[in-house]
Structure 1
Amino acid sequence: MADRLIRRFTLITGVLGFTLALGTAGFRLIEGFSWFDAFYMTLTTITTVGYQEIRALSHAGRVFNSFLILFGVTAMFLAVGAMTQTIIELELQDSYGKRRKRRMIENLHDHFIVCGFGRVGRNACAEFERTKAPFLVIDRDEQRAARATNAGMLAIIADATQDDSLRRAGVLRAKGLIAALASDAENLFIILSAKALNPKLTVVTRVTEEEAGEKLRRAGADTVLTPYTMAGRQLADTLLRPHVVEFLDFARSNLGQEITMEEVCVSSKGELRRRTLGELLRLQRSGAIVLAIRQQRGETIFNPSPDVEISAGDFLIVMGKRSSLKELEQILTNQ
C-alpha cells in the first residue's frame, strides 16, 4: 500500500511539473514573456481560475494555449482525482485497520499484556515473539506504540493505569501482565487496577526504588524484580562463579532455534498422577530432560530421580527439542 501511494504521488508530481515546465517554456519562446509571467500564465491556464491574459496573445500563442488548456486541465483533473482517491483509500485503510485490530484483540485469550514499550518492555516482547506467545502492548506514547506496530506486534495507544484501557486490552481474558512503566507509582496503579479487574491474573513488575518493592507486592504483584540488585549480583557472580554464569546465559539464550527450556503443568485428567517420572519419560520416548519438578505443595525437586511420582498440578521444568517438549506437553495435558 505504501509503495503504491508513493508511486501515485510521484506520478502526480511528475505530470504537473512537466505541464508547468512545458507551458512556461512555450510562453517564453512564443510570446517572449518573462520567466515569471510565463509561469503565471501557465498556472492560471491549467487551474482554470479565469484570469485574463497578461497581454494579448499572437495567433501562434493562442494555438499553443489551446493545446495547453486541453492537456493541462486534463492533467490537473486527473491529479485532483488521484489525490482524492488516495485520501479516501487512506481513510478506509485506517478504518479497516482499527476494526481489524479490535477483532484481533477480542480474539485474544490467555495472552500477556505488556504495559510500556520502553527498554524493559521491548525485551519482554522480544522474548514473547521468540516463544510465539500471544501478547499485546499498551503505551500512551504514539511513537512507541507505532514502533511496536511497525515491528509486527499488536499494540494500542492507551494509558495502562486506566481501567478502560486494561479492559480494551482484554485483561479479563489475559493470563499475565507486565508493568514496565518508568515510574513505580504508575506501576502501582496498573497492578491495583489489573488485580481488581482480574484477581487470577499473574502480574510481574520491575521496581526502580528498592523501598517500593514491598508496596508493589502488597498491591498484588506476584513477582517484583529489582534491576540494580539483579545486575549487582550478576556482576559479582561473574567474578566469583564465571562458569556457572556462562552456563546459565547459554541455557537461557544460546540453545539455538531447536533447543529450549519450558515449564509444563501436569493435568488432572486421566491416570497420569499415578505415574512416576521414569514411566512418563519411557512413554514419551523423545529425549526431553527434566531439570526440576515444582510440586503443587511448593517444594522444588532438582534433578529428580525416575522414581519420583508426578501429581496433578505439578510443574515440570524441562529442556530439549521443541518437538519433544510439545509431545511431552500433550501427554501431560491430554491424558
Structure 2
Amino acid sequence: MAKMRHADRRGGPTSLVSMPRLGVHPFRELGRRALFAGLLLLVSTLLVWFDRGAYVDNTGADGVSFIDALYYSTVTITTTGYGDITPLAPHARLINALVITPMRIAFLVLLVGTTIEVLANEGSRIVRDLRWRRTMRNHVVVIGYGTKGRSAVNTMRRHGRAADKIVVVDRDALAISDANLDGLAAFQGDAGRRDLLRRAEVSKAKEVVICLDRDDAAILTTLMVRQLNPQAGIVVSVREHENVPLVKQSGATSVVTSSDTVGRLMGLSAIGPELGAIIQDLLTSGTGLEVTQRQARPDEVGNNPSGIGNERVIGLVRNGTLRRFYDSTAARVEAGDQLIVVRKSITHVEGLRDLDD
C-alpha cells in the first residue's frame, strides 16, 4: 500500500472499503457541479431576457419572452441550436461570441466531464474493493478507532505489523478519515451489523481487536465475530471487571479491563512513584523499556533464557502455553518457542506514518 496521507474527511459510502486518499463523495460533487451549471444557465437566460430587443423569434414573430429566453439559453448552451431564435444586433452577437460561448463550454465540461468522472471513480473504487477482498488474508481488524484503538494500531505497527494488513471499523466518519490519514483501509458503520463485519473480511482475519466504549456493544460484537471466525484471536477491551466472564463466554481470547488497569497503575504510583513510572514505561512504546514477543532464534535454542543478549526474558510460549520465567519448564529455550522479553525501546522509528516509506 502506497503512502496516502491526505484523505478527505467527508468520507464515502459504507458499501465499499474506504481506502487511504479517498476522494470527495461523488454524488455530493455531482450535485455541486450541477448547481454551478444551473447558475450558468440562469445567467445566460437573464442576459438574453434583458437584451430581448436584440433577438428575433423567427417562428412566432411575437417577440422574445422570458420562456423564450430560457428556451434559447437551454438549446444554445447545450449546443443543440435549432435556429428559431437568433441574435440580430451586433452587440448581441458579440455577447454570444465572447460570453455565452465560453459559458457553453464550461457547462459541457461541468456536466459531461462530471458524469464521466463519477463513472470512472466509482468503477475504480469497485475494482479496488474487489482487489482488496481477494488479497486480504490473515489481517487484523480493529473495531473502534478512538484512543484505545489508535494506540493498539500504533503498537502493532511498531512491532512490525504492516499497515496494509490492518483494517479499521468505526461508525464515526472522522475516525475513518483519521485511519486513512494513518495509511489504513477502513469501513464506516456500526460494528454490530453482521454485513459490515463480512465486508471487513472478518472471517479471514487472523486477529480482531475490539475497542468499543460500551461493554454491551463489545460483548455483542465479540459474539458475532466469533460466529463469523471460529479461529481468530479476539482481544477485547471492557470498562468493568464484572463483564470479563461474559466477554470470554462470547468467544474472546483475551480481555483487557481498562478501568481496573488504570486503577491499578494509579495504586502502584501511590505506593511508589518509581514503580508506577516503570509500569507505565513498559506500557508506552517508543521510549525507555518495552515488552514484546518474538520467535526464539536458532542460536538461542538450548540456552537458559536468563543469559540471552541484552533482553530480559520474563516468559515463553511453548505449544500455546505461557510459561513464566520462574517455571521449571522454562529453564531452557526449545525450538519453536516464542519469547516474551523486556528490552530497550526501539527509538529510531521517526513516526508511524513513515513506516511504509
Q: TM-score range by the shorter chain?
A: 0.5 to 0.7
For residues 272 and 168 of structure 1, the distance between their equivalents in structure 2, rounded to whole angstroms, comes to 42
Number of residue pairs matched by the alignment: 296
Q: From the two aligned structures, give the one with the greater helix fraction.
A: 1
Specify the alignment match of 1:328 in structure 2: none
Matched, 1:80 2:107: yes
For residues 263 and 289 of structure 2, the distance between their equivalents in structure 1, rounded to whole angstroms, comes to 29
Q: 1:225 to 1:253 in 2, by over 3 A?
A: closer
Specify the alignment match of 1:292 in structure 2: 314
For residues 122 and 98 of structure 1, the distance between their equivalents in structure 2, rounded to whole angstroms, comes to 27
The residue type equivalent to 2:322 in the other structure is G
Among residues 332, 337, 345, which one is paired with 1:309 in the alignment?
Answer: 332
For residues 122 and 233 of structure 1, the distance between their equivalents in structure 2, rounded to whole angstroms, comes to 22
**Contact persistence 1:48–1:73 (CA under 8 A):** no
Specify the alignment match of 1:65 in structure 2: 92
Deviations along 1:103-125, whole A, 9 cap, x unmatched? 23432333211112334323333
Among residues 115, 125, 129, which one is paired with 2:153 in the alignment?
Answer: 125
Q: How far off is 1:190 after superposition?
A: 1.9
The TM-score with structure 2 as length reference comes to 0.64
Q: 1:151 to 1:77 in 2, by over 3 A?
A: farther
**Contact persistence 2:141–2:207 (CA under 8 A):** yes
For residues 345 and 263 of structure 2, the distance between their equivalents in structure 1, rounded to whole angstroms, comes to 33
**Contact persistence 1:46–1:68 (CA under 8 A):** no
Specify the alignment match of 1:244 in structure 2: 275
The TM-score with structure 1 as length reference comes to 0.68
Specify the alignment match of 1:235 in structure 2: 266
Which deviates the most, 219-228 or 159-168?
Answer: 159-168
**Contact persistence 1:16–1:75 (CA under 8 A):** no
For residues 233 and 100 of structure 2, the distance between their equivalents in structure 1, rounded to whole angstroms, comes to 65
Matched, 1:265 2:302: no
Deviations along 1:93-144, whole A, 9 cap, x unmatched? 2331343244234323332111123343233334344445231112244454
Gaps of 5+ in 2: 1-22, 55-65, 77-81, 349-357
Identical positions, percent:
19
Q: 1:274 to 1:131 in 2, by over 3 A?
A: closer
For residues 104 and 199 of structure 1, the distance between their equivalents in structure 2, rounded to whole angstroms, comes to 22
Q: 1:280 to 1:107 in 2, by over 3 A?
A: farther
For residues 140 and 102 of structure 2, the distance between their equivalents in structure 1, rounded to whole angstroms, comes to 53
Q: 1:125 to 1:94 in 2, by over 3 A?
A: farther
The residue type equivalent to 1:293 in the other structure is G
Matched, 1:222 2:253: yes
Matched, 1:253 2:284: yes
For residues 205 and 240 of structure 1, the distance between their equivalents in structure 2, rounded to whole angstroms, comes to 29
Q: 1:266 to 1:175 in 2, by over 3 A?
A: farther
Specify the alignment match of 2:6 in structure 1: none
Gaps of 5+ in 1: 31-38, 282-287, 325-335
Larger Rg: 1
For residues 129 and 222 of structure 2, the distance between their equivalents in structure 1, rounded to whole angstroms, comes to 25
The residue type equivalent to 2:106 in the other structure is A
For residues 316 and 209 of structure 1, the distance between their equivalents in structure 2, rounded to whole angstroms, comes to 27
The residue type equivalent to 1:262 in the other structure is T
The residue type equivalent to 2:292 in the other structure is E
**Contact persistence 1:46–1:72 (CA under 8 A):** no
For residues 101 and 259 of structure 1, the distance between their equivalents in structure 2, rounded to whole angstroms, comes to 40
Q: How far off is 1:88 after superposition?
A: 2.4
Q: 1:260 to 1:201 in 2, by over 3 A?
A: same
Report 1:208-219 matches (<5 A).
208-219=239-250
Matched, 1:100 2:132: no
Q: 1:254 to 1:210 in 2, by over 3 A?
A: closer
